[in-house]
Structure 1
Amino acid sequence: AWGVPLPLGFALAALVGCAAGVGTELLLYRPLRRVQATQLNIFLASLGLLIAGQSAVLVAFGPQARVLEGFPMRGIELGPVAFTTIEALWLAVAWALIGGLMAWLWWSRDGLAIRAVASNPELAQCVGVERERVFLLVFAVGSTLVGLGGTLLALRDTASPTMGMHPVLAAFIAVFLGGIGSVPGAALGGMVLGLAENMGGLVLPGYWQGVIAFVVLFTVLVIRPAGLLAPRGR
């Protein structure tokens, strides 16, 4: 959008995302945990940060959408299935990141610490796991992935201050569909949600996508309240 080469743009987006996540953890969530804020207070603080962040970006860069260039976009047809090169890139990058994230969580020391804190924070701290370091690491990694995802999304659409609203909502629904705390569950939830929205789009107008998403969420939560692939004990 500003004449920056695309690979450098991806790197900068990941770096800015990581910095934003670390800053949010240190300046917002960690102080809230220290005063033992309720889940509702934390949620409201998150919502306020989202609104403030969007407003800050709007003031800094203006309301106009920006186009990202540098990746060739053309159509691909495989039988009855049609998609673009950018959507193929999405799929490849998404599965590579999901596989790498799962391998890191299951087979690295940091991944073991993250899973321990997610399962039982108090017990994990008793056996020597530094909870605050784990929280910071999770925010850094997660926000880095968000920066990469946002750049991929802007390749097909445009970059704007409000571009993250639908992806954030879809991510929340996917996490609840798959089961909170399950990386494979989140991936499965995203696939279920995407298929439902696009198949529904064959017979319904596009503005029904949001309704379809919540119908799918409600149906799954009624049948399996913990999610499709919720970790044991939840």
Structure 2
Amino acid sequence: MLLHVHLGLYGAWSFGGDESFTGASSIGAPRRIGERETFSQDGSAESPGSSYAGPPEPVGAVRVRLVSANGWADLRGATTCAAITEAEAAAVLARLGPDPLHNRPGDREEFIRRLLRRKTAVGLLLMDQSVVAGIGNIYRAEVLFRQRVDPWTPGSSLNIETAGRLWDDTVAAMSDGVRDGRIVTTPSALWSGGNAGALDGEAHFVYKRQGQPCRRCGDVVGMAEIGARKLYWCPGCQN
């Protein structure tokens, strides 16, 4: 049996463990910038060498708890949480588009093919799991901004070069997020403190920056509902 989890908007994993257990304190909603990577048994940041006596009592509606000799993980609020067979898992995977974090040979070309065949707005297509797997709302907004693509452009109106750049930048951005344990899409030149771990509203170009000046052109960052999610973009840079 395999565990099938889809975090959705509100799902989150929380973790804790001894000094040999490393990882972010949470994955999902909410996601905190600059999280420490070693945690005590209650999930709070603690220096290496702390004793570990097992996981704390569950807090809230824990859907799944995973426990090892060195750490634990709790799941709450997930849209999907089910034990499934390998055949069922294969069927789920078959419905998904290419995964930028895997970036296997042929994935780039398959993404381009799926994107260009649809007349739907590219801002929606990047959140469609049958087109590309795993892009969340932050990466959707930030990659479209970084590549200067209007979110309302139909996928079929994009050219192959632009579609390829969207894939390449998504691979780079998501890989950086996995490496760093946080989502930071701006360059260090824009960080007033010079430290990614201490960023305060400087981690992104447009995400949750509606009404503020664009970091690139100075135009006002916009926000609109698209596909029941908030979309952030710069009308000046993305036209």
Q: TM-score, normalised by structure 2?
A: 0.30
Higher helix proportion (structure 1 or 2): 1
Q: TM-score, normalised by structure 1?
A: 0.30
